[in-house]
Structures are given as C-alpha cells and as structure tokens.
C-alpha cells in the first residue's frame, strides 16, 4: 500500500498552543483535523510536512451554536456529517446541509471537517497523482516542478477549487475567524481565497481557522447544485450555490450566485445580483442570468468529464438552481441525482 | 426427505466462508504475517517505450534495512499464460514496453524502506517512439513492440469463412453496416494483488497469492525460477475479487519468490491500487465493423464481422481474446453464413486480457446495437424480430458449435413480459427509454490453456472416523462461491450435514489440479468431478449398508446424515456407522473424481475456441432516464433472465447475475482505462477518478433464473458468473436511443457524449464517425457444417 512519509505529530491542548507551535515551526508544520484531504495527499507526496499539529482533540473547535435571531456559528472541527444532520442548518441554510452531505462518501464525511473542506487543497488531474506518476510525466509547478502541465506556457497554476461548502458559505455571506499568535480576526469567507492554484488561501500559514459564522437568514432562500458523475464519492466538477430573497411583492431584493469548481477560487457572479434585483423570477430572466453566469467559467482539461461540456453545464445548472428557488418546475435527472 | 429432487442443491444456503468474511476473520494474502518477514517493492518504468541503457542498484543496496535488490537479468526466462505467446519477463531486461512495467525489485525490512530503496535505484533509459493506438500499431510496422510475432505490431490476425457468406448476402432483402467501439476498462477488484513467498530451509518454495489460477502460476514459477515443480507449492489465498484480473502469472509473484530465495526470509509484495491499474489484463478496447444481411422479417442471411483489439504490450490471453471477439456471434441467433476477421495489435500500454465475459462482451455489444438499428430500419419490434431467429437446443452453428440446452426464448419472453415492454417501447415520454439485448456465453472452455490429455479438474474425498468429510480440489474461490458449491455437491451426494464438510482447495501440494477460476468452468467441471468421487465412495458405503440392512444397494439413499431405504426410512443406519463399517471392510476411505469436457465437433485451425460443455443464454431489458439538457443517464430498472440450467444455490446465482449487471452498467456508462494520449500514461489510476458505479448508481435489478437443466451440467447446472454481463451494455445503448433518439455507437456512454450527440442532432450536424482501420488478413480458414457429415463417414 501507499505509505505515509515520516512526520512528527503534536496534539496541542489548546488553540493558543497550536498557534504557538505553528508560528515556531513555520511552513514545515501544518494542521490536521479529519485528515481526509491531507493524509492521501501526503501518501502521494503532494505534501510533505514534517510536523502535524492535530486539532481533533480541541473540543472548543467543534460544535454548532446559535439560533434564528443571532445566526449560527460552526466550529471548524465540526464534521460534515454533523452539519448535514443538524436540524437548524437544514432549516435555515438548506444549501449548506446539502453541500456538506454531498462531500465524498459517508465514511469520509464522518471524519472530514468543515474547516478541512473550506481549506481543501485545490485539485488537478496532473497533481492528484502518486509521486511515481508525477515523476513519470515531469512534475508540475504545484509540487516539485516548474511548469503547468494542463496549460503549458501558463505562468500560473490552474488547479481547481473543489470544495462543495465554500460556494455555499459565500452565497450565505459567511465569515470566518482566524487565529494566530499575533491576533484573532474575522474576514468574509470570500476573502479567504484568491485566484491561484498554488497559493489559493489568503490566510497566513500559521493562522488557524477557528469557526465559520452564518448571519441570520433574513428571508434568504438557498440551494446548491452539484455536477458529478456518481451519486457519491466524487468531487464537484461544477458547483452552483444560489441564495436570494424576495420582497412582499415577489421582487428579488437580494441575490447571490457563486460557482464552484470552475477555477482556482469560487467565482462570484456579480452580474446576477444586478440583473435580478427588483425583478420577478421569471423563466426569461433566469435564462439570461444563466447565460451571463456561464461566460466567465473557462474549465480546462484537468478534471473529470469533457471540459467543453463542463462549461455548457454551467448554464443548465444555474438555470435549475434559480428555478428551484423561484418555485418553477425543474427537469429531473432521476434518483440519485434528483436534486 | 426434503421437498423436491434435492436436499441441498437449489436451496438458498449460506456460503461456507460467509461467517469468516462477515466478521473480518478471513485471511487474505496481505493478512499473512510470518516471523522475519521482509517486504518487497517493484520499481516500474515511467516510459511507455524505452531501451534500458543502465541500471545502478548500488545506491539502494547501501541503504540501511535493504536486504537485496534484483533486476531482470536474474530471471531471463520468458513466460506467458498462453504457450504461443510467452513474451513476458519477470522484470524488463532490455526494453520497457508500458508505463508501469517492472524493472527492478527490492526486499527490505519494511515497506517504507523498500519503497524508498526503489526510488534510489538509478535507471538510464533511451526513449523510443511509443505506439499508443490501434491505428499507430498498424501504421508503424517498422517500430515493433515485440519481435516474435509474424508482422509489425500484429500480435495475431485471424480470418474465417463459414458457409458461403457471399451467397448469404445475395439472399438478403436488406443489408446494413455499422462501426462501433468498446473502450477498455479494468476489473477493479476490492483486493489489490498480494503475494507472500517463502523459500524454506528445506529448499522448497511456498507462495500464497491472490490468484485465480494457482496451477498455471505453479507451472510458470517452475519455468522462470528453473526449479522442479515438485519443490514449489502454490496456495491461492482467499481472493478478494478477480473478474479475470488475477488469471495470469505476474511479475510480483516471481519477484517475491526470488527475493525470498536470496534472503531466506518470507517476502510479501502487495500492489498499490495504482500498480493494479498498470498490471491490468482488463477488457480490450475493440473497434468493430459489422455488416449483416437480413430478410424482411429481420432473420439473418449472412454476417461479416471485423474486430481490432488494442492488446497492450504483451500477449496475456490475447490469442484467445481475438478468437472470442468472433466466435460467439453465431450462438444466439441463427447465422447461416458467417465471415470473421480479427486482429490483436500490440501497443505500448498495460497488457489487456480476460475480464468477465472475455472477448465476447465487445462483439455482443456491437451485434445487439446493430440488430436494434436493423429492427428500426425494418420497422420491426426488436424483440419480436429476434424471437424469429433464435438458436435452439440441438443446433449446430455454421462455425461448428453444438448448442446443448437452450432456454433463450423463455429468457426473452420473461424480460419482455416482466418489463411491460409492449406498453413502453417507443411509447415512453421523451427522456425515458427502454432497451433490449440478448446473449450467449460458455460454461468452461473446451480446451486447457496448454495442450495436454489430462482432466481439467480433479476432486479427492476422505472420510474421517467421526463422520467428517474433507474434500480436496484445486479450484479457487474468488468470491464466486466455488468452495461452497463443492461442499453443496458433496452434502447432496453423501447426505451429510453441510457443516460436517471441510473443503481444502487451491493448494498445489494438497489438492488435485483444477485449471482455475476462469471461463466459468468451475461449477460444471469441479461439480461433475465431485459427483464422480462421491458416487465411487457411495458404491462402497452402499454395499456395506445393503448388507447391514438386508436391502438392495440400488434402493438406498443418503440423506440427513443417514443411509436408508428409499421407501422405508426406518431401515437405515447413521452415516458414521456405515462409514466406520466400510472402513473396516475396505480400509481407508477415499475416492477421486475428475472431469474432461467433451471435444468440440468441428476440426479446423482455430476451432479450439468456442466449444464448451454447455452454453448459457441471457436476456435483459433496461429502463432509464436520459436528461436531454445534461446527457446524464440514470438507469431506473433492469430486468434480466438467465438460463443457468439449474441454480446450485439461487442466492449465489442471483448474486452473480446482479454483480454482472452492476459491472455491465459500469462499462456501459462510466468505466474507461484511459491514457494521456501523447504520454502513454494511465490518465486516472485511482478508485476516485476511475469512475465505477457506487451503490447509489445501481438500480433495482429484477433477476429471473431460468432453470432448464443441461444434460452435461452437474444436476443440470450451467454458468451464471459471466454471461449475464453481456446483454447489459447494448441494452443500455438501445434504451438511450429509445429515450432521446440518438445513437451512441461507443461505450462508455458518458454524459458529454450524449450531450454532444443531441446538440449535433438539433443543429442537423453529423458527428465525425468512428474510424475503422483496414489491413490485409491471412487466407481465411474455410469450413461448413457439411464437412461434419464427411467426418462421420
């Protein structure tokens, strides 16, 4: 079997201690919670930290707190299963419950945490391979090499942001808390990401993701649509998170549309808000939003399914997500994809 | 007495190994741990085609914990499962021919050290141009991957003419040609290949391996290691799924053995999932061209079929595979005249070999889709059209295959009626579709892999003084339940409790030879051998019992742990008592049985592939949703009826059928052994990215067993493990056409292909057709059934 490379493991007793260890050891150290992303990547030598700082024992990083009035705060160490099954989240943020429930497989959701899914390493068919495989074709710039194999000549890495929960959290206006030896700070979840396949997180390497906070629902309806081959196991090859609210007369007074798995960071479709505000959710306006939304995504041949096809599906999935929120009939794909 | 003819056969009993497997107590090869055991690891080629200039193992040898490092030169003798293409080396010596081919092996005190040591080995390669497709293989004759084959990169080309195809086509009212492609895919067993080898102080070698064919591994080890077979013992450890992927002798087995011989320690080698993808031997990618002439009612007047198999770098079972892509076209529907041309090409990819339905899945897909189109062209119901032209019991096909029992009509009628076909076909709303296909498969190959006159299987039985019965057979349980079938047969025959029977199987020191778990041969061959052994023993037991009970031996039965008079159960004695008295009379109790399949009736060059003791027949209807906006296909329900003769255990037979449907759906919809086109490396060698269906992707499966006993089968039993895969992919493809009106002439039918086809249709564009190569074939072997009459005289 593939073996883990040698590493040291420290289980700090507090977040403060964890922050101190990270600051002392610099980039050689990394945090681990569920390990469902990190350990396989380590087995394939995509990551070779010499020190792992285990967060799993830190109770205060785990749990879901809050209510309708104040909103909900989720500890970064809360498992995806716990989020999927939480009645408050199911009621208030159904898109998040869905997204968490569609990550990988039941076994991995029992281990994997929301913090891990937010910080999920970007993915690429040339990068998520064993050391042998990557060496055989010549390493890529994301690890051990200096070119991009999917877009040779490109100065940057095009690995794909593949989290299911991040687009949803962005559409819900979530914020995250980060802690380091220097400070604790809150930033919008969207500010945590940048458009680079290698340095895809804006946080400092020694900052620990503590929690994610969701504002009160305030009439916001949300949904998430995921394109993937199978009913389980697969990362999204396209994710569409949509959230919107309507005023008394049925006109849209808030709208957020975020695409996942189309680039190195989730894409916020700003035009969607501009187009929808003050409008009724007619099939026509939904079509035109979908048309606009499908423009910026430029998938490359580094994921499952034909990349041209993936781009074409953006329009279909945005249409379906918005039709769902508008209460319009949606073409069905049949179980288990019956979204 | 139990109800019906049998007391054990036909009953839904648990598998004899079910308890151990359920609680995780079964010891697979990777679970074996021995004192002083070392770990082996193979270094593999990063190039699809290269000359090995130099290997420097010294950096690895110097590493602490490394016990030894070996390269190909230490085992220069070539091997291969087919005697006509022994082209493999335990490790490549001068040339590597695919990414993942082993070039060196290390034994170390643990797996981490072994892996690090392989990375320290320096191999200098001189890269050679790689042949990565069927077209490349034909176009670049000068760039030869192998040199023992006759020409270029053609591993094997065959050509046959049965009857008079020209005449047949002249009789046709309508003729149609199609080109289709079946992409390669792999077995994906849960258990990765694993082996432990131990060369003991007695200078005897024992290996425990996850293999389907311990006998062939035994022969190959003797040859490559240059050791007498009498000093080698091969034990097939419980196999966690094979599906054909563990039927060849493999590099890791030779290397583990050699490493143990050098170190004097037990050596374990366990492949990673990635290495399993490189080891492969899976379904050949096959391009097919088919032309069929039919009468107005759809009945076939002649068929001409061509296949091009992308074989990968080595022979494996390819010699048989190429024949199998042609031979069973005639055993489902009557084909009065038939021409077949096939070729297997060498390419710089992992070798293809046998996967469930070996070589027959691809042509069956082609023929069934092609016939669906013909039915459409002729405005006929595809099921009714086929019902007019079925083969039947007693038929001799145009290529000289004898159909034994055949319940194909019943299978077709069952799925037609159960699925509500008549109310659904071409009547479901847009996006919903229903499709049909039927098929034939063999119950064991008529010939062994290497020429010999000995039986294909042997069973030995001993009876203990306490009444326990131990059965020995070389058969290999790969999860299909052959150990259980062996126990059921003995329990049925001797009338002893199933749990008083111990089966000892797949151990070349302890058990008589069985050729292995391939070609769906085990139940029929091992079953018949077990019956023979039991009946020999029963002869002795009944003779003694008859004297004890003062009744004729012919009127005795053995059931429920007793031997008694068939009409008066009071007149009887316990099995143990009779056994003890029989031992007192005749000495130690034991008996053997064996089985050799009947010879094929036709004699022509190439007639060895196709004959079988019994053909099975299968029909399936698939109902699905196809989302026209996304191209996504969700299979809603599958109805499948399989003529298995007699289910030895209906639970196991149904399990085999459901497993076949599941696997067939994966091949139809998702699975691709895909390569980076220029780099020649497997694109996605992981269980995450090689898409195989999950439980959630598996529909409701309605399985119907058609039990129409076969005279050759034990209690009438025929195979159920492979045949039911065959109708599934074409039924899916035909259902997609019914749903959205586009023909996708290749599998897997992925959503992007459906989407592209629908878009082209909407824009009235014609998609680029699948290309079919041309080549020149050898002079055809000509044969007609009329020659049989001559032969008889």
CA distance A240 to A266: 10
Query: CB–CB of B634 and A312 under 8 A?
Result: no
Q: For residue A317, give the chain B residue with the closest CA.
A: B630
CA distance B205 to B218: 10
The 3-state DSSP class for residue B758 equals helix
B432 — pLDDT class (breaks 50, 70, 90): very high
**Nearest CB to B696 within list A1, A332, A336:** A336
What would the DSSP string read from start to end of A305-328? S-HHHHHHHHHHHHHHHHHHHHT-
**Nearest CB to B636 within list A230, A305, A334:** A334
Asked if B694 has any chain A CB less than 8 Å from its own CB, the reply is yes
- Residues with Cβ within 8 Å of residue A287, at least 6 apart in sequence: A319
Q: Which residues of B touch A229 (CB under 8 A)?
A: 670, 691, 751
CA distance A221 to A98: 13
Q: For residue A338, give the chain B residue with the closest CA.
A: B634
Residue B440 above 60 pLDDT? yes
Query: CB–CB of B696 and A230 under 8 A?
Result: yes
Nearest-Cα distance to chain A for B272, in Å, is 5
Share of chain B above pLDDT 90, in %: 98
The 3-state DSSP class for residue B77 equals coil
Q: Which two tokens stand for residue B557?
A: 């039965």
Query: CB–CB of A130 and B272 under 8 A?
Result: yes
Distance of CA B209 to the CA centre of its chain: 18
pLDDT digits (tens, 9 = 90+) for B287-325: 999 999 999 999 999 999 999 999 999 999 999 999 999
Measure the N-to-C terminal CA separation of chain B; round to a whole number of Å. Answer: 50
| pLDDT score recorded for residue A332 | 65
CA distance B458 to B453: 13
Write down how long chain B is: 793
Domains (range + CATH), chain B:
33-128+193-270 (3.90.1170.50), 286-447+602-762 (3.30.365.10), 455-595 (3.30.365.10)
Q: Which two tokens stand for residue A74?
A: 């989720």
Q: Which two tokens stand for residue A148?
A: 């991009």
Query: CB–CB of A334 and B111 under 8 A?
Result: no
Q: Which B positions 276-315 lie with beta carbon below 8 A of chain A?
A: none
Residue B52: half-sphere exposure toward Cβ, Cα within 13 Å: 23
Torsions phi, psi for B166 (to 5 deg): -60, -45
Residue of A130, A144, A138 lying closest to A5 (CA atoms)? A130
Beta bridge partners of A74: A64, A212
- Our CA angle for A56, A60, A66, nearest 5°, is 125
Q: Which residues of B touch A316 (CB under 8 A)?
A: 629-630
CATH of A60-119+160-214, one of 3.30.530.20, 3.30.465.10, 3.90.79.10, 3.40.50.261: 3.30.465.10
Q: Which two tokens stand for residue A159?
A: 């690995």
Q: What is the mean pLDDT of each run of 10 residues along chain A (339 residues)?
A: 94 97 96 97 97 96 96 98 98 98 97 98 97 97 96 95 98 98 98 97 97 96 96 95 95 96 96 96 96 86 91 94 94 53
pLDDT digits (tens, 9 = 90+) for B48-103: 999 999 999 999 999 999 999 999 999 999 999 999 999 999 999 999 999 999 99
Residues B555 and B485: beta-carbon distance below 8 Å: no
Residue B537 above 90 pLDDT? yes
| pLDDT score recorded for residue A75 | 98
- Residues with Cβ within 8 Å of residue A274, at least 6 apart in sequence: none
Residue labelled with tokens 């700082």: A53
Q: What is the DSSP letter of B594?
A: E
Plot region of A147 (φ>0 → left; ψ -120 to 50 → alpha; else → beta): beta
Torsion over CA of B329, B331, B367 and B604, rounded to 10 degrees?
0
Q: What is the DSSP letter of A36?
A: T
| pLDDT score recorded for residue A333 | 58
CA distance B199 to B205: 4
β-sheet with A267-268: strand ranges across:
A221-227, A238-246, A252-260, A267-268
pLDDT digits (tens, 9 = 90+) for B458-485: 999 999 999 999 999 999 999 999 999 9
The residue extents of the domains of chain A are 1-59, 60-119+160-214, 221-326
Q: Does domain A1-59 have CATH number 3.30.43.10?
A: yes
pLDDT digits (tens, 9 = 90+) for B231-270: 999 999 999 999 999 999 999 999 999 999 999 999 999 9
The 3-state DSSP class for residue B564 equals strand
Residues A233 and B688: beta-carbon distance below 8 Å: yes
Residues B289 and B305: beta-carbon distance below 8 Å: yes
Q: For residue B750, give the chain A residue with the closest CA.
A: A305
Residues B75 and B136: beta-carbon distance below 8 Å: no
| pLDDT score recorded for residue B793 | 38
Residue of B651, B641, B667 lying closest to B729 (CA atoms)? B667
Torsion over CA of A104, A109, A111 and A117, rounded to 10 degrees?
70
Distance of CA B538 to the CA centre of its chain: 34
Q: For residue A233, give the chain B residue with the closest CA.
A: B688
CA distance B648 to B656: 12
Query: CB–CB of A232 and B192 under 8 A?
Result: no
CA distance B501 to B491: 7
Q: Which two tokens stand for residue B323?
A: 């024949």
Q: Which residues of A touch B278 (CB under 8 A)?
A: none
**Nearest CB to A233 within list B119, B431, B688:** B688
pTM for the full model? 0.97
Torsions phi, psi for B217 (to 5 deg): -65, -40
CA distance A326 to B500: 67
Average pLDDT of chain B to the nearest whole number = 97
B523-535: b or e for each residue (b if 16 or more CB lie within 10 Å)?
Answer: bbbbbbbbbbbbe
- Residues with Cβ within 8 Å of residue B321, at least 6 apart in sequence: B284, B309, B311, B344, B352, B353, B354, B358, B359
Share of chain B above pLDDT 70, in %: 99
Query: CB–CB of B696 and A132 under 8 A?
Result: no
CA distance A72 to A215: 7
Beta-strand pair B562-565/B556-559: antiparallel
Residues B710 and B719: beta-carbon distance below 8 Å: no
Residues A97 and A86: beta-carbon distance below 8 Å: yes
Query: CB–CB of A309 and B691 under 8 A?
Result: no
The 3-state DSSP class for residue A199 equals coil
**Nearest CB to B629 within list A136, A229, A316:** A316
Pure H helices in B28-125: 58-61, 111-120
Q: Which two tokens stand for residue B250?
A: 């493999």
**Nearest CB to A130 within list B192, B274, B697:** B274
Q: Which of A136, A233, A301 to mutate to test the interface with B (most CBs of B within 10 A)?
A: A136
CA distance B498 to B12: 13
CA distance A264 to A295: 16
What would the DSSP string read from start to end of B382-450? HHHHHHTTB--TT-B-TTSPBP-S--HHHHHHHHHHHHTHHHHTTTSPTTEEEEEEEEEEESS-SS-SS
| pLDDT score recorded for residue A339 | 42
Radius of gyration over every alpha carbon of chain A, rounded to an integer in angstroms: 20
Radius of gyration over every alpha carbon of chain B, rounded to an integer in angstroms: 27
Query: CB–CB of A333 and B696 under 8 A?
Result: no
Nearest-Cα distance to chain B for A304, in Å, is 7
Q: Which two tokens stand for residue B494?
A: 């001797």
Pure H helices in B79-133: 111-120
pLDDT digits (tens, 9 = 90+) for B672-729: 999 998 899 999 999 999 999 999 999 999 999 999 999 999 999 999 999 999 999 9
Q: What is the DSSP letter of B400?
A: S
Residue spans of beta strands (DSSP E) within B627-737: 633-643, 700-706
Q: Which two tokens stand for residue B779?
A: 């002079």
| pLDDT score recorded for residue A285 | 97
How many other C-beta atoms are found inside a 10 Å radius of the C-beta of residue B692? Answer: 20
CA distance B115 to A44: 12
Query: CB–CB of A334 and B750 under 8 A?
Result: no
CA distance B73 to B94: 9
CA distance B648 to B659: 17
| pLDDT score recorded for residue B177 | 98
| pLDDT score recorded for residue B690 | 97
Asked if B577 has any chain A CB less than 8 Å from its own CB, the reply is no
Q: For residue A312, give the chain B residue with the closest CA.
A: B630
Second CATH level (architecture) for the domain A221-326: 2-Layer Sandwich (3.30)
SS3 readout for B731-751 = HHHHHHHHHHCCCCCEECCCH
Residue labelled with tokens 């379906």: A320
Q: Which of B629, B674, B676, B746 to mutate to test the interface with A (most CBs of A within 10 A)?
A: B629
Residues B63 and B117: beta-carbon distance below 8 Å: yes
CA distance B423 to B612: 38
Q: What is the DSSP letter of B283?
A: B
Residues B530 and B463: beta-carbon distance below 8 Å: no
Residue labelled with tokens 């604790």: A184
Q: Which two tokens stand for residue B464?
A: 């203990």
């Amino acid at each position: 079997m593939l073996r883990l490379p040698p590493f040291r493991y420290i289980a700090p007793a507090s977040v403060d201690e964890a922050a101190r260890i990270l600051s002392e050891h610099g980039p050689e150290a990394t945090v681990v919670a569920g390990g469902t992303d990190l350990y396989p990547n380590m087995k394939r030598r995509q990551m070779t930290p010499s020190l792992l700082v285990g967060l799993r024992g830190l109770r205060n990083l785990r749990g879901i707190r809050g209510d309708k009035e104040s909103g909900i705060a989720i500890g970064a160490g809360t498992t995806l299963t716990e989020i999927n099954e939480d009645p408050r989240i199911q009621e208030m943020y159904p898109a998040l419950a869905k997204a968490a429930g569609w990550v990988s497989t039941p076994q991995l959701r029992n281990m994997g945490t929301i913090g891990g899914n937010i910080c999920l390493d970007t993915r690429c068919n040339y990068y998520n391979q064993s050391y042998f495989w990557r060496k055989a074709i010549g390493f890529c710039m994301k690890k051990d090499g200096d070119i991009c194999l999917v877009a040779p000549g490109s100065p940057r890495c095009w690995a794909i942001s593949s989290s299911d929960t991040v687009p949803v959290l962005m559409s819900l206006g979530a914020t995250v808390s980060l802690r380091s030896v220097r400070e604790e700070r809150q930033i919008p979840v969207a500010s945590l990401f940048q458009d680079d396949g290698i340095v895809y997180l804006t946080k400092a390497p020694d900052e620990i993701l503590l929690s994610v906070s969701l504002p009160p629902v305030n009439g916001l309806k949300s949904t998430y649509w995921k394109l993937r081959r199978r009913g389980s196991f697969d990362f999204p090859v396209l994710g569409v998170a949509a959230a919107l609210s309507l005023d008394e007369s049925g006109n849209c007074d808030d709208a957020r549309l975020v695409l996942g798995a189309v680039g190195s960071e989730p894409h916020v479709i700003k035009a969607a808000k501009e187009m929808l505000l003050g409008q009724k959710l007619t099939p026509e306006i939904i079509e035109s939003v979908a048309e606009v939304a499908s423009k910026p995504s430029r998938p490359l041949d580094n994921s499952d399914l034909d990349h041209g096809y993936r781009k074409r599906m953006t329009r279909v999935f945005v249409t379906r997500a918005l039709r769902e929120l508008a209460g319009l009939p949606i073409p069905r794909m049949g179980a288990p994809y019956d979204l | 007495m139990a109800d019906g003819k049998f007391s054990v056969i036909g009953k839904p009993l648990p598998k004899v190994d079910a308890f151990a497997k359920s609680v995780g107590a079964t010891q697979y090869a990777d679970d074996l741990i021995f004192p002083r055991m070392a770990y082996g690891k193979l270094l593999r080629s990063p190039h699809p085609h290269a000359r090995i200039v130099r290997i420097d193992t010294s950096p690895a040898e110097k590493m602490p914990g490394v016990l030894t490092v070996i390269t190909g030169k230490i085992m220069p003798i070539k091997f291969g499962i087919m005697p006509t293409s022994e082209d493999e080396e335990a490790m490549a010596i001068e040339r590597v021919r695919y990414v993942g081919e082993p070039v060196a092996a290390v034994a170390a005190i643990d797996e981490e050290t072994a892996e690090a040591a392989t990375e320290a080995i320096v191999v200098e390669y001189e890269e050679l141009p790689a042949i990565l497709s069927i077209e490349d293989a034909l176009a670049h004759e000068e760039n030869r991957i192998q040199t023992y084959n006759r020409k270029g990169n053609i591993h094997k080309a065959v050509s046959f003419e049965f009857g008079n195809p020209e005449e047949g086509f002249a009789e046709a009212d309508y003729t149609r040609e199609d080109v289709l492609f079946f992409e390669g895919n792999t077995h994906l067993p849960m258990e990765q290949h694993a082996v432990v080898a131990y060369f003991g102080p007695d200078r005897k070698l024992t290996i425990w391996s996850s293999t389907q064919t311990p006998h062939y591994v035994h022969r190959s080890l003797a040859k490559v290691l240059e050791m007498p077979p009498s000093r080698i013992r091969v034990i097939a450890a419980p196999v966690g799924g094979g599906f054909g992927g563990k039927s060849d002798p493999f590099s890791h087995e030779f290397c583990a053995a050699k490493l143990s011989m050098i170190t004097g320690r037990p050596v374990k080698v366990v492949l990673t999932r990635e290495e399993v993808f490189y080891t492969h031997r899976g379904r050949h990618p096959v391009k097919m061209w088919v032309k069929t002439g039919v009468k107005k009612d759809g009945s076939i007047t002649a068929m001409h079929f061509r296949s091009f198999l992308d074989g990968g770098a080595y022979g494996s079972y390819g010699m048989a595979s190429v024949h199998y892509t042609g031979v069973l076209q005639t055993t489902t529907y009557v084909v009065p005249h038939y021409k077949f041309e096939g070729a297997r090409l060498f390419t710089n990819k992992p070798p293809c070999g046998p996967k469930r339905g070996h070589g027959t899945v691809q042509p069956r897909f082609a023929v069934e889709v092609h016939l669906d189109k013909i039915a459409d062209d002729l405005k006929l119901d595809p099921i009714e059209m086929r019902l007019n032209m079925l083969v039947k019991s007693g038929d001799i096909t145009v290529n000289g295959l004898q159909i034994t029992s055949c319940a194909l009509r019943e299978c077709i009628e069952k799925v037609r009626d159960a699925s509500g076909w008549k109310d659904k076909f071409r009547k479901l709303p847009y996006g919903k579709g229903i499709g049909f296909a039927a098929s034939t498969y063999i119950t064991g190959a008529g010939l062994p892999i290497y020429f010999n006159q000995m039986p294909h299987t042997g069973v030995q039985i001993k009876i203990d003084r306490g009444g326990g019965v131990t059965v020995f057979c070389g058969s290999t349980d790969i999860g299909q339940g052959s150990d259980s079938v062996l126990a059921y047969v003995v329990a049925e025959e001797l009338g002893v409790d199933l749990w008083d029977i111990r089966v000892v199987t797949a151990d070349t020191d302890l058990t008589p030879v069985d050729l292995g778990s391939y070609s769906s041969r085990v139940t029929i061959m091992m079953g018949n051998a077990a019956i023979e052994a039991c009946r020999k023993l029963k002869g002795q037991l009944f003779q003694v019992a008859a004297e004890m009970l003062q009744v004729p031996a012919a009127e005795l039965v053995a059931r429920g742990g007793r031997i008694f008079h068939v009409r008066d159960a009071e007149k009887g004695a316990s099995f143990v008592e009779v056994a003890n008295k029989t031992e007192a009379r005749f000495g130690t109790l034991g008996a053997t049985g064996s089985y050799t399949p009947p010879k094929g009736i036709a004699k022509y060059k190439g007639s060895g592939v196709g004959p079988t003791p019994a053909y099975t027949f299968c029909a399936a209807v698939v109902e699905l949703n196809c989302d026209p906006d996304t191209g996504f296909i969700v299979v809603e329900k599958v109805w499948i009826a399989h003529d298995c003769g007699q289910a030895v255990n209906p639970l196991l037979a149904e399990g085999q059928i459901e497993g076949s449907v599941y696997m067939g759906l994966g091949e139809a919809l998702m699975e691709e052994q895909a390569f980076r086109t220029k780099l020649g490396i497997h694109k996605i060698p992981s269980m995450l990215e090689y898409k195989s269906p999950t439980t959630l992707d598996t529909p409701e499966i309605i399985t119907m067993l058609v039990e129409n006993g076969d005279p050759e089968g034990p209690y009438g039993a025929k195979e159920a493990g492979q045949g039911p895969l065959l109708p599934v992919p074409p039924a899916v493809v035909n259902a997609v056409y019914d749903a959205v009106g586009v023909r996708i002439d290749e599998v897997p039918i992925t959503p992007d292909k459906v989407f592209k086809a629908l878009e082209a249709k909407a824009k009235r564009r014609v998609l680029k057709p699948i290309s079919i190569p041309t080549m020149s074939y050898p002079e055809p072997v000509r044969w007609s059934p009329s020659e049989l009459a001559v032969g008889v005289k």
